[in-house]
Structure 1
Amino acid sequence: MKQLAQTFLAIFVIAFALMYTAHYMNASEGLTGGNTLTVYNWGDYIDPELITKFEEETGIKVIYQTFDSNEAMMTKIVQGGTTFDVAVPSEYAVDKMRKENLLLPLDHSKLPGISNINPRFMNLAFDPGNQYSVPYFWGTVGIVYNPELTGNLTFKSWNDLWDPSLKNKIMFVDGAREILGMSLNSMNYSVNDTNEEHLQAALAKLQKLTPNVKAIVGDEIKMLLANEEAAVGIVWSGDASEIIDANDKLTYVLPEEGTNLWSDNMVIPKTAKNIEGAHKFINFMLDPANAAQNAEYVGYSTPNEKAMKLLPEEISSDERFYPDLNSMKLEVYENLGKKMLAHYNELFLEFKMHKK
């Protein structure tokens, strides 16, 4: 009898443990699955009101985390310490991530809003057929400048940056592809050039620009240029939009030799827990009204054709930020491979050391 009682007690303990484990796992799934969505995006790259709207419409709680470079984002996803359901890498990072099996294929049947995207931004080489990514924002790299501080220069060419009158008046974003690409473009080479002779020529030309470069900085470049701490900046178009909003003396141009056409894209990392919620979020951001609201808030250019019709005309008709994509030499960054990307970074570091 005592033995039977012990057997029943053991069965009860095991059953209780199984029930507790199941309950705990369900609760955990609620935190990382159906009730919660973790979004990994660039800083200040979404209208916070849209997150609230999505939560109210779906009942899904959004955990929003930010990164400051594609490389930092990919490293964190590879490490797997935090599970992300949606991430927003740039085009070359999408290419790298899909080749390294870091992304889940998208279910286009759950993304009817994808039909709103301008075909110019679809089916590009970094993701044929958009199997893994959906365009979020796009833009260019160009020159923002203050005419009151630059005299008669209008910056039709990248080569205008080397004008002696600009001594200690230029600020650069801290980006190897952007700055080396600018120098390559100034010699009519591609921003994706891997010819060592061309790369060394681009470095040598940058080093000759050193007297004109006041600083190489991060996000603070927007505040510094708006406050007229420098006359000229090499920046991304969305940053230029923010700078001009803060100080309308400045303007933004795309030099005639051409420049980078970049895009950031929504993807679902392979380790995502809330795949259904991720599709809901991506499709929510593809809604024309939401995309237009987001574009007005962030300042970058939307690839959403229907959203374009909802934007104020002063935004949608501004050729500085919505240039004719067929009339300019605009190149998408290619994934140059780990070795060549490291070489670009080495050359850029050499330039920065020369600057010091």
Structure 2
Amino acid sequence: MKRIYAFLLALALGLALPLAASAQGTLEVTEEISVSADYDWTRFAGQGVTLNVYNWGEYISNGSDDSVDVVAAFEKLTGIEVNYTTFDSNESMYAKLKSGAASYDIVIPSDYMVAKMIAEDMLLPLNYDNIPNFQQINEEYHNPDYDPDNAYTVPYMLCTTGIIYNTTMVEQAPTCWADLWDEQYAGNILMFNNSRDAYAIGAFKMGKSINPATTAEVDEVVEELKAQKPLVQAYVMDEIFDKMIGGEAAIGVYYSGDAITMIDDNPDLAWVFPEEGSVLSVDCMCIPATSTQQEAAEMFINFMCEVDVGAANAEYIGYTTPMDAVWEVLDEELKYSEIAYPSEEIAAKEQVFTALSDEVNSELDMKWSEMKSYNEGGSGYLFLLLLLAMLALACFNIWRKVRRKNRNMY
């Protein structure tokens, strides 16, 4: 990984140590990261503040493989403790927040889920005075459809979907989403275990919008997914890492940055953007409406938008940065990666998710659940029949014993 310049951080026993400012207006603390010197990073020091951060799995530089431990660096710089946990899909994150089972101060959902959460008053408006690094975000990602006034979000990373496959198990490289319905891969296909991404694959295959406008569209595409199900080995999220790296499946679908990680770990793997197009998603940093630490949470968001921190994250996870200044300092291999930064021809075919109506969203949730449990329901029915048969046999044996005993009495 490219060596990134770093900052002087340091709190000991709740007291901030002197921070050295360079001529460039940065604070240097380690050999890996530097941060802006004109931001008050220590205003919460010694106050016992804790932030609960909820992010995707494998989605931050965490200190492994000689990477920067971004969370530890933030804690040392600010004196704020971070309770960092992960989720594996937008839907599971939303369900947990909606249930009130846990309270978080920062969450990182994808664009379409952001729109849903805004509509349901689940997010706090941001105070950008506390996030001056928002100016680092490329203007292309300002005022997006999912957050028209940039009231609630700061982009974190961008990703696209595509096909990852094992070159030793696949004779001819796949070219389209329809290849995931090819019977030669029966039992060797890994599919998304979330409704929106899986639906998009079926929609691309059928030449339909990835954002259904009616329940009839939902039903038609889910039927296509149901037809594919007998060929699918498993519906996965983070489980795909072990399965593809370990050669347990021939072909799968996932996100571009994670594909780079998997290919690094197993050079037999390769990636393709299907010819029908792919989904471009923007994952955003937001503050849930239940947070009681908004200002500290905004400090964390600002920290994540520091150039060196953004570069550390991008280089470790392989995702596409929304910050031009970060792209400039990336390792050359990632900077010109065709997976992280695809050609204009590929980018022209990208589509983005939009928020669905409540009716359509409910239909998708219901039909997805029905599709997922279809075979499982059949297996459960067979199990019930088997259980009833075993009970009947047991009753028959008891009856025979009682009958034999009665006969012996005579």
Amino acid at match of 1:89: P
Partner of residue 7, structure 1: none
Which of 116, 122, 136 matches 1:96? 116
Which whole-Å CA distance do the structure 2 matches of 1:333 and 1:175 have between them? Answer: 14
CA distance 1:163–1:58, change in 2 (3 Å): same
- Equivalent residue for 2:308? 289
Distance 2:337 2:118 in 1: 34
Q: Which amino acid aligns with 2:130?
A: K
Partner Cα distance (1:190, 1:32) in 2 = 52
Amino acid in the other structure paired with 1:132: Y
Flag the 1:352–1:100 CA change in 2: closer, same or farther, 3 A: closer
Deviations 1:276-314 (A, max 9, x none): 211111111001110110112223222222111111111
Counterpart of 1:60? Answer: 80
In structure 2, distance between residues paired with 1:329 and 1:120: 17
1:107 and 2:121 are equivalent in the alignment: no
Return the alpha-carbon distance in structure 2 between the equivalents of residues 329 and 317 of structure 1: 19
Q: 1:68–1:212: structure 2 CA closer, same or farther, 3 Å change rule? A: closer
TM-score (normalizing by structure 1):
0.84
Alignment of 1:62-81 (within 5 A): 62-80=82-100
Q: Higher helix share goes to which structure?
A: 1
TM-score, with normalisation over the residues of structure 2?
0.73
Whether contact under 8 Å (1:114, 1:134) holds in the other structure is: yes
Specify the alignment match of 2:274 in structure 1. 255
- Once the two structures are superposed, the pairs formed by residues 156-235 of structure 1 within 5 Å of their partners are 156-235=175-254
After superposition, the C-alpha distances for 1:151-202 in whole angstroms (9 at most, x for unaligned) are 12x3222122233322322111211111121011112211112344443332
How many angstroms does 1:260 deviate by?
Answer: 1.3
1:271 aligns with 2:305: no
1:324 Cα deviation after fit:
3.7
Deviations 1:213-262 (A, max 9, x none): 22223321211111111110011223322221211111111112112111
| Structure 2 partner of 1:44 | 58
Task: Tell me the distance in 1 between the aligned counterparts of 2:119 and 2:226.
Answer: 35
Q: C-alpha displacement at 1:336, in angstroms?
A: 0.9
Q: SS of the counterpart of 2:244?
A: helix
Query: Residue in 2 aligned with 1:299?
Result: 318
Question: How many Å separate the matches in 1 of 2:166 and 2:246?
Answer: 11
The structure-2 alpha-carbon separation of the partners of 1:138 and 1:148, relative to structure 1 and needing over 3 Å to count, comes to same
In the alignment, the residues of structure 1 paired with residue 147 and residue 326 of structure 2 have an alpha-carbon distance, to the nearest angstrom, of 23
TM-superposed CA distance for 1:353, in Å, is: 3.8
In the aligned structure 2, how far is the partner of 1:46 from the partner of 1:238?
11
Q: How far, CA to CA, are the matches of 1:68 and 1:203 in structure 2?
A: 22
Indicate which of 349, 352, 368 corresponds to 1:329.
Answer: 349
The answer to whether the 8 A contact 1:33-1:274 is kept is: no
Return closer, same or farther for 1:344/1:311 CA change in 2, 3 Å cut-off.
same
Percentage identity across paired residues of the two chains: 37
Of structures 1 and 2, the one with the larger relative CO (CA 8 A, separation 6+) is 1
Using the TM superposition, name which of 228-237 and 111-120 deviates more: 111-120
Aligned residue identity for 1:145: Y
Moved more, 140-149 or 82-91: 82-91
Conserved in 1, the CA contact under 8 Å of 2:153 and 2:285? yes
Aligned to 1:17: none
**Alignment partners' CA distance in 2, 1:74 and 1:212:** 29
| Cα distance in structure 2, aligned partners of 1:79 and 1:33 | 30
| Alignment partner of 1:35 is 2:49 | yes
Given residue 35 of structure 1, which amino acid in structure 2 is its aligned partner?
V
Q: SS where residue 282 of structure 2 aligns?
A: strand
Structure 1 residues 109 and 202: alpha-carbon distance in aligned structure 2, compared to 1, 3 A threshold:
same
Shift of 1:77: 3.4
Name the residue aligned to 2:169: 149
**3-state SS of 1:139 partner:** strand
The 8 Å contact of residues 135 and 265 in structure 1, kept in 2 or not, is answered as yes
Query: How far did residue 33 of structure 1 move?
Result: 7.3
* Structure 2 gap segments, 5+ residues each: 1-43, 63-68, 377-410
